[in-house]
Structure 1
């Protein structure tokens, strides 16, 4: 689309196609955001214990693609999508994927987490704070960062952690709670 079409079409036609694609993406994300059965079904598929790695990867790739599409949308639609993702508990299976042996599952889960934290780190921060004192998600992120075989995943995990630990993006109580949790209970895992 970005290479062939601009050469073959005039500017107005290309702009009209881009606008059509944008409106279709808005419609798709809005429809799926409001479809409770779809959101629950996808989350259930991600948490299905008997599912093969391929089935889990397909469901995770769908979520990853939805996150990629939301990057091009307006803030309102992105925020609505990520709020629903949090409401339906998607962070729970994503934390589980971080400890899986399949690199494709880990990478896709990290990509979804990175998209979420780049949009609004407070969503993942709130999830981690709700998990206290265990903080399974934070522990899983740190385990990937300190593991020997996750070299391709480390830059993305570093970005997620950087967004989570950025005091500029935190409000008063959240800043105190999250930084205390991290430095008192988890920073030793990095050493």
Structure 2
């Protein structure tokens, strides 16, 4: 998507791809436990080096996320950015908490949340799934990071559709059950304010909209129930009413055994 100028890191990316192919395809049925462990270790440490380098490469991240905001870039290139970030977040799941915190801090400071505007409503189901997986990855790491962004988004730009509204609309409109499950999980985690804060200080000082290390859960719940609950339950409210008599209930119980 964006050229990686460091040749050593570029070489390490190619090496990691070959190691994974070797482990998962070529030697999948013949690997001994010791060899399997060695390959996993090599892949893991390569991932650490790659993530550490790219998250500190401000020029790379700026160029990467600027593609999404560009009006002259092709739709396919914007989709490639989404898929790249999805792979990036998938790698981060296997890293230690400190490394994940640094990665999400760097991504959020360079426009990570702008990716959902382009991915969640994309006609391509693969891109929508990638966007949902990125959002779930962030929520698994730090739900309050997403809540604080949504609260700031509502306050700062009332003309722009908030992320939570996009998620609800996609949850209702998307016909794919796998996608519905992803959106349902996103909504569940956002509303589960008892889960606490994932990693204190992840948001860092550089992004004004993400300053609050612990956004008030009550503010988010008030926002959701005051503004979006009606839309969320609209499909249920639209179901036709059916009167069930006491005799009908007994008959259903009898028919169901």
Instruction: Normalising by structure 1, report the TM-score.
Output: 0.90
What is the SS of the residue equivalent to 1:93? helix
What is the total number of aligned residue pairs between the two structures? 191
Q: Which has the larger radius of gyration?
A: 2
- Structure 2 stretches lacking a partner, 5+ long: 1-22, 198-213, 235-257
Q: Does 1:146 find its partner at 2:172?
A: yes
Which of 176, 181, 193 in structure 2 is aligned with 1:155?
181
Name 2:8's counterpart in structure 1.
none
Name 1:59's counterpart in structure 2.
81
Q: Deviations over 1:31-85 (max 9, x none)?
A: 1111101111111112222333321221111100001111111111111111112
Distance 1:18 1:168, change over 3 A: same
Q: Does 1:166 find its partner at 2:192?
A: yes
1:112 and 1:184 mapped to 2: Cα distance?
27
Shift, 1:2, TM fit: 4.2
1:114 and 1:51 mapped to 2: Cα distance?
27
Instruction: Normalising by structure 2, report the TM-score.
Output: 0.68
Shift, 1:144, TM fit: 0.3
Deviates more, 1:113-122 or 1:9-18: 9-18
1:148 and 1:44 mapped to 2: Cα distance?
28
Name 2:229's counterpart in structure 1.
187
Which of 109, 112, 115 in structure 2 is aligned with 1:93?
115
Q: Does 1:127 find its partner at 2:153?
A: no
How much is the aligned-residue C-alpha RMSD, in angstroms?
2.1
Name 2:202's counterpart in structure 1.
none
Contact 1:64 1:108 in 2 (8 A): yes
Q: Does 1:47 find its partner at 2:69?
A: yes
Shift, 1:151, TM fit: 4.0
More helix per residue: 1 or 2? 1
